[in-house]
Amino acid sequence: MAELMNALELVPFPFIFALYGCYILEEYVLELKSLPEELHLLCPRKNDDDMEQYSKYIDNENKNNELDVKPSVEVLERISEAAVRREKFLSCIQLLAFSGEEVEVHQQWIWRRLEGTLERCDICIKEYYKGKIWLIGTLGESYDESEVEKFSKMLDDWDISRVGRNLDKAASMLRSVPPERRKLSVLDRAAMLSIFEALSSTPVLGNENVLREHFDEPFKLVQSLRTLKITEYVPAATRFLFDQVQHRNHWAVFTWSRLGRAPTTSEFDWAIKEPLLAALRRASSPPFDADFVDTLWRGITIIIERLNKDQITHNLRGLELDPCRLSVDHLAIQSPALRSVINTIHALLEKSPGDFWDAMQTISPQAIIEQIFYNPQYEKFLIATDNDEPLAQSPLRDMLSWIDPFITSLKNTHQPQACRFLVHQLLNRLQEPRFPTIVKYHCFRSGLTVLYRTLRSFTDNEDTRGSVATIVLSE
């Protein structure tokens, strides 16, 4: 035994771990092989005919109070058993990295079961892609980074090849029928699920060539009659918010408009975090692409509207790049994107003003206001306003609607200075003859509202009630 231990000390730890891990994984494979073939390995479904709505109960930390019917004990047991089964199967995927005749038979079984699983069940697809993130993260704790990257790329390449093949099949089937019959029901199960899988697959979504060559055609054809409806958060819904390909972006905006609840923490991490972070990185360094900046903030505003305050604090601001801070940095960009940036700041001030100001650190409120009003694009929006244009559709509304939540979000110590600047802009500069009558009217109303909010903030605060005349009226 001593000689064996001495010998093992000469072997790198990862190799020892691999030997031990391989033995455990083979045990898992044998256990999983003994299960009924019709049992789904990655989700709670007993077979393909099991139509229980498990998605309502899986990952439901934000949904517990929304469930009309509580899951039965049997359903909860299936969910619990599936979680154990799923982790074992995902762990077994590591065997694909080993070589040797002794594991080859297991590898063939893993490939076969994995392909069959992903071509028959939408829940399994989602759990697979979420599970891949967990698996790669787990491997990264024990193996060299370069080796983990190679393994991850192997899986990604396999996913891309398989999904691309099924997407091509879907396109062929949709082309073979007249436009009025082009819908999901004409596809077989594997072809139909390939569209959903593409919307869930980070490797597919991250490869523009694959999207153009394999995804776009069936995605457009299947929507010949009506827009494809997805009722859950998927990575494509976020990634396509920042995509400048029109049909993808329109679908993403439509999808987010139909998602009536906030994402769960798990959904944020899987379906929102990485696509959002990638978009922020792209727009974080000059030279700025004004068109993409506009797309970015349109998308982020849509996301913010779905998040609650806690998610803005812990998920959105927990990103490597803080959207709150970047939005203010982009106020200086002289392009129509200013409208989208202002709308995002407006949404943040409405949802979570404390987080917005916490992100500003040393940036003063007046510095933010000055960036907005001194941006030449601001005046361009106002001057271009048509007196007959409905306010709800006019840029004028967006140029002014942020002001009220902005002034009310300020602490008393910052309000007088901000009030002075805003009143000068709204009641003086923007009343010049070159501005349309409708602009001068709404600016005047907005300026009076600023005065009213500021006065009320002091009269409502007992500590400052006696100094209102000195602080405000004397200005």
**pLDDT: which is higher, 290 or 470:** 290
Q: Which residue has the tokens 């998610």?
A: 311
User: Contact at 8 Å (CB) between 295 and 238?
Assistant: no
Q: Which two tokens stand for residue 287?
A: 């030279």
Q: Which residue has the tokens 């299960």?
A: 35
DSSP string computed for 260-323: -SPPPHHHIIIIIHHHHHHHHHHTSSSSP-HHHHHHHHHHHHHHHHH--HHHIIIIITTSSS-H
User: Contact at 8 Å (CB) between 166 and 215?
Assistant: no
Integer CA distances (angstroms), 163 to 1, 79, 167, 178, 249, in order: 50, 27, 6, 24, 21
User: Contact at 8 Å (CB) between 241 and 205?
Assistant: no
Least trusted range by pLDDT, from 60-69, 218-227, 288-297: 60-69
User: For residue 65, is pLDDT > 80?
Assistant: no
| Count of residues in the chain | 475
Tell me how far apart the alpha carbons of residues 281 and 285 are, in angstroms, rounded to a whole number: 8
Q: Which two tokens stand for residue 116?
A: 């069959």
State mean pLDDT over 145-171: 96
Tell me how far apart the alpha carbons of residues 123 and 461 are, in angstroms, rounded to a whole number: 54
Cβ contacts of 423-431, under 8 Å, gap ≥ 24? 423/447, 423/450, 423/451, 425/369, 425/373, 426/450, 430/382
- Give the residue extent of every domain in the chain: 17-48+75-143, 154-225, 227-363, 369-459
**Residue 58 confidence (pLDDT):** 73
User: For residue 117, is pLDDT > 80?
Assistant: yes
**Residue 32 confidence (pLDDT):** 95
Coarse DSSP helix, strand, coil percentages of the chain, rounded to the nearest 5 percent: 70, 0, 30
User: For residue 468, is pLDDT > 50?
Assistant: no
User: For residue 51, is pLDDT > 80?
Assistant: yes
For 240-293, how does the pLDDT look when each residue is reduced to its tens digit (9 = 90+)? Answer: 999 999 999 999 999 999 998 899 999 999 999 999 999 999 999 889 999 999
C-alpha dihedral (106, 107, 111, 117), degrees to nearest 10:
30
**Residue 18 confidence (pLDDT):** 52
User: For residue 433, is pLDDT > 70?
Assistant: yes
State mean pLDDT over 56-64: 60
User: Contact at 8 Å (CB) between 14 and 144?
Assistant: yes
Confidence of residue 219 (pLDDT cuts 50, 70, 90): very high
User: Contact at 8 Å (CB) between 199 and 125?
Assistant: no
User: For residue 426, is pLDDT > 90?
Assistant: yes
User: For residue 473, is pLDDT > 50?
Assistant: no
Give, to the nearest 10 degrees, the angle between helix 122-140 and helix 189-200: 40
Q: Which two tokens stand for residue 356?
A: 């917005």
Cβ contacts of 421-426, under 8 Å, gap ≥ 24? 421/366, 421/369, 421/370, 421/373, 422/369, 422/447, 422/450, 423/447, 423/450, 423/451, 425/369, 425/373, 426/450
> For residue 284, which of 292, 397, 305 has the smallest C-alpha distance?
292
State mean pLDDT over 292-303: 98
> For residue 91, which of 132, 129, 123 has the smallest C-alpha distance?
132
DSSP string computed for 427-474: HTGGGSTTS-HHHHHHHHHHHHHHHHHHHHHHHT-TTTGGGHIIIIIT
Q: Is the peptide bond before 287 cis (omega within 30 degrees of 0)?
A: yes
User: Contact at 8 Å (CB) between 382 and 372?
Assistant: no
Tell me how far apart the alpha carbons of residues 111 and 363 are, in angstroms, rounded to a whole number: 55
For 325-342, how does the pLDDT look when each residue is reduced to its tens digit (9 = 90+)? Answer: 999 999 999 999 999 999
Taking all residues of the chain, what is their mean pLDDT, rounded to a whole number?
89
Tell how far CA 20 is from the center of its chain. 38
Confidence of residue 462 (pLDDT cuts 50, 70, 90): low
State mean pLDDT over 124-140: 94
> Which positions ≥6 away from 128 have C-beta within 8 Å?
42, 90, 114, 117, 118
Integer CA distances (angstroms), 322 to 225, 281, 360, 370, 425, in order: 40, 10, 10, 21, 29
For 438-448, how does the pLDDT look when each residue is reduced to its tens digit (9 = 90+)? Answer: 999 999 999 99
State mean pLDDT over 421-438: 96
User: For residue 16, is pLDDT > 50?
Assistant: no
Confidence of residue 60 (pLDDT cuts 50, 70, 90): low
> For residue 58, which of 114, 115, 122 has the smallest C-alpha distance?
122
3-state DSSP of 38-67? CCCCCCCCCCCCCCCCHHHCCCCCCCHHHC
> For 141, what's the count of Cα atoms within 13 Å in the CB-facing half-sphere?
5
User: Number of helices (H) and strands (E), helices first, in the chain?
Assistant: 26, 0
Q: Which two tokens stand for residue 221?
A: 């054809």
User: For residue 4, is pLDDT > 60?
Assistant: no
- b/e burial code for range 449-464 (CB count within 10 A of at least 16 → b): bbbebbbebbeeeeeb
User: Contact at 8 Å (CB) between 409 and 349?
Assistant: yes
Tell me how far apart the alpha carbons of residues 437 and 432 are, in angstroms, rounded to a whole number: 10
**Residue 470 confidence (pLDDT):** 47
